[in-house]
Amino acid sequence: MVNKMVTDIAVEMPTGLVQPEQENIDGIEYPKQTVGTPLLESSKMSMRNVDVFYGDKQAIFNVNVDVGQHEVIAMIGPSGCGKSTFLRSINRMNDTVESCKVTGQLTLDGEDIYSTKMDPVALRARVGMVFQKPNPFPKSIYDNVAYGPRLHGLASRRAELDEIVETSLTRAGLWTEAKDRLDQPGTGLSGGQQQRLCIARAIAISPEVILMDEPCSALDPIATAKIEELIAELSQNYTIAIVTHSMQQAARVSHRTAYFHLGRLVEVNETEKVFTAPEHQLTEAYITGRFG
């Protein structure tokens, strides 16, 4: 999939990214606005002027970015740069954090995510999430996958539910390993299998977007490779936003890469471009390992 990128800045790009008084690295200044191609002509989700605060502390500064249909966008950056916070703002998981406040405009298919009309519960059914640490419920493998479909009434008969479970597990690449032990607890699986179970659980409710928050950081290299393959397959049907600490992973799985630095979105470009010819010095400094 290739989303057409907006190359001329005709799409009006809100300014004000730079906070010149803020600290910077090696004397490199933040760009006036996010460099590269953060905005798309047609997008699945779009974020404009997003600020996120924890109490008095601002974690995200004026982020503007689009996510295209069936695109994998990777978010990279040093620890504490706000990429996870930003991800959790997209499906309003931050609502559960009392002190967290999100401003700006975030839309999914043109609908305002933070409008009072949007039900966060319905939103999260459309924007699924896979977490850093595999968190299967203390239930059987079957019940783990069937959890979402049961909640949302996606199956009226047992056979339908069975089918959803099988398809989801197959798509998550877990069916052959799990089909004989569907009634055993999901917590008894290995770490990598647990994470694939969580992915199966997320796709069982047919979300439109899947958010992944460092899904491989608790896994060994083989399990990681499997998840990465899975992401590539899933991108045919889903829009995926993945936060990762591993630049190699971002390079392997994503179409576009967004580089966050201390709460600012510095650069968004095609992944290949980011890792071969980054536009901004901060991105270059990070991917060449000068900090991070």
When asked if residue 114 is in the footprint of another protein (CB under 8 A), the reply is no
Q: How many CB atoms lie within 10 A of CB 104?
A: 17
Of the candidate residues 44, 83, 124, 226, the single one contacting another protein (CB under 8 A): 124
d(CA 183, CA 188): 11
Of the candidate residues 122, 190, 232, 291, the single one contacting another protein (CB under 8 A): 122
d(CA 239, CA 147): 22
When asked if residue 137 is in the footprint of another protein (CB under 8 A), the reply is yes
Strand ranges across the sheet with 127-130: 35-36, 264-270, 256-261, 72-76, 239-243, 209-213, 127-130
Q: Which is nearer to another protein, 193 or 281 (CB)?
A: 193
Of the candidate residues 63, 123, 161, 253, the single one contacting another protein (CB under 8 A): 123
Binding mask 205-244 for another protein (x = CB under 8 A): x---------------------------------------
Q: Which is nearer to another protein, 69 or 135 (CB)?
A: 135
When asked if residue 138 is in the footprint of another protein (CB under 8 A), the reply is yes
When asked if residue 128 is in the footprint of another protein (CB under 8 A), the reply is yes
**Residue type for 76, please?**
I
Q: Which is nearer to another protein, 39 or 205 (CB)?
A: 205
CB 68 within 8 A of CB 1: yes
What percentage of the chain's residues is helix, strand, coil (to nearest 5)? 35, 25, 40
d(CA 22, CA 230): 39
- State how beta strands 209-213 and 127-130 pair: parallel
Q: Which is nearer to another protein, 114 or 147 (CB)?
A: 147
Within 145-164, the residues that bind another protein by CB under 8 A are: 147-148, 151-152
Q: If you ran DSSP here, which 8-state letter would residue 128 be given?
A: E
Angle at 155 between CA 44 and CA 178, to 5 degrees: 85
Q: How far is the CB of 94 from another protein (least distance, A)?
A: 11
Q: If you ran DSSP here, which 8-state letter would residue 11 be given?
A: S
Of the candidate residues 48, 70, 101, 139, the single one contacting another protein (CB under 8 A): 139
Q: How far is the CB of 125 from another protein (least distance, A)?
A: 3
Give me the residues that bind another protein (CB under 8 A), please.
Answer: 91, 93, 96, 98, 121-126, 128-129, 131, 133, 135-139, 147-148, 151-152, 185, 187, 198, 201-202, 205
